[in-house]
Amino acid sequence: MDKTQVAEILDEMGTLLELKGENPFKCRAFHNAARVMGGVTEDLKTIVENGEIRKVKGIGESIAKVISDLVKTGKSPDRESLKKGFPPGIFDMMKIQGMGPKKVAFLYKKMKISSIDELEKAAKAGKLEKLEGFGKKTEENILLGIEQVRKHSSKFHINVAENAAQAIFDTIKSHKGIIRSEIAGSLRRRKETIGDIDIVVSASKKDAKEIFKIFTTHRSVERITGEGETKASVVLSAGINCDLRVVDDREFPFALNYFTGSKEHNIRVRALARENGWTLNEYGFAIPDTGEKGRKSKKIVPCKTEADVYKSVGLDYVEPELREDLGEIEAAQNGKLPKLVTYDDIRGTFHCHTNYSDGHNTLAEMAAGAQKLGWEYLGIADHSKVAAYANGLSEDRVKKQHKEIDVLNAKFKNFRLFKGSEVDILTNGDMDFNDKTLALLDYVVASVHSNFKLNEADMTKRILKAVKNKYVTIIGHLTGRLLLERDGYPLNQIEIINAAADHGKIIEINAHPMRLDLDWRMVKYAISKGVMIAINPDSHVVNGLTDVKYGVGIARKGWCEKKDILNTRTTKQVADYFGR
Ligand code: DGT
Ligand code: CA
Ligand code: CA
Ligand code: ZN
Please, what CATH class does the domain formed by 343-579 belong to?
A: alpha beta
Least confident of 41-45, 335-339, 400-404: 41-45
Element (H, E) at 224: strand 221-227
**pLDDT mean over 9-17:** 90
Q: How confident is the model at residue 371 (pLDDT cuts 50, 70, 90)?
A: very high
**Position 12, amino acid:** E
**Residue 363 pLDDT:** 98
List, by residue range, all CATH 1.10.150.110 domains of the chain: 3-85
**Residue 42 pLDDT:** 83
Q: How confident is the model at residue 366 (pLDDT cuts 50, 70, 90)?
A: very high
List, by residue range, all CATH 3.30.210.10 domains of the chain: 254-333
CB 206, CB 178: distance < 8 Å: no
Please, what CATH class does the domain formed by 156-247 belong to?
A: alpha beta
Cα 301 from Cα 294, distance rounded (Å) = 22
> pLDDT, tens digit, for every residue of 475-501?
999 999 999 888 899 999 999 999 999
**Residue 12 pLDDT:** 87
Instruction: Give Cβ neighbours of residue 547 (< 8 Å, ≥ 6 apart).
Output: 159, 511, 512, 513, 537, 538, 539
List, by residue range, all CATH 3.20.20.140 domains of the chain: 343-579
Which residue has the CA at smallest separation from atom 30 of ligand 1? 263
List, by residue range, all CATH 3.30.460.10 domains of the chain: 156-247
Cα 181 from Cα 50, distance rounded (Å) = 36
Residue 231 Cβ contacting ligand 1 at under 6 Å: no
Which residue has the CA at smallest separation from atom 22 of ligand 1? 263
For residue 306, the CA-to-ligand 3 centroid distance in Å is 19
Whole-number average pLDDT of the chain: 93
Least confident of 117-126, 196-205, 210-219, 330-339: 117-126
> Which of 151, 153, 198 maximizes ligand 1 atoms within 8 Å of its Cβ, making it the mutation to test the pocket?
198
Instruction: Give Cβ neighbours of residue 51 (< 8 Å, ≥ 6 apart).
Output: none
DSSP 3-state of 89: helix
Q: What number does CATH give the domain 254-333?
A: 3.30.210.10
**Residue 149 pLDDT:** 78
Does residue 386 have a pLDDT over 60?
A: yes
**pLDDT mean over 47-62:** 89
Tell me the CA end-to-end span of the chain in Å, nearest whole number.
47
Does residue 297 have a pLDDT over 60?
A: no
Vertex 199: Cα angle to 195 and 202 (nearest 5) = 160
Q: Could you tell me the CATH superfamily of domain 3-85?
A: DNA polymerase beta, N-terminal domain-like (1.10.150.110)
Give the bridge partners for 246, in sequence order: 201
Q: Which atom of ligand 1 is nearest to the CA of 261?
A: 18
Q: How far lies 556's CA from each of 158, 192, 311, 399, in Å?
A: 15, 12, 22, 37
> Which of 151, 186, 233, 267 maximizes ligand 1 atoms within 8 Å of its Cβ, making it the mutation to test the pocket?
186
**Position 301, amino acid:** V
**pLDDT mean over 431-456:** 96
Residue 320 Cβ contacting ligand 1 at under 6 Å: no
> pLDDT, tens digit, for every residue of 68-109?
999 988 889 999 888 888 887 888 888 888 888 888 988 998
Does residue 294 have a pLDDT over 70?
A: no
**pLDDT mean over 121-129:** 91
For residue 161, the CA-to-ligand 2 centroid distance in Å is 10
Does residue 286 have a pLDDT over 90?
A: no
Does residue 291 have a pLDDT over 70?
A: no
**Residue 122 pLDDT:** 93
Percent of the chain with pLDDT over 90: 74
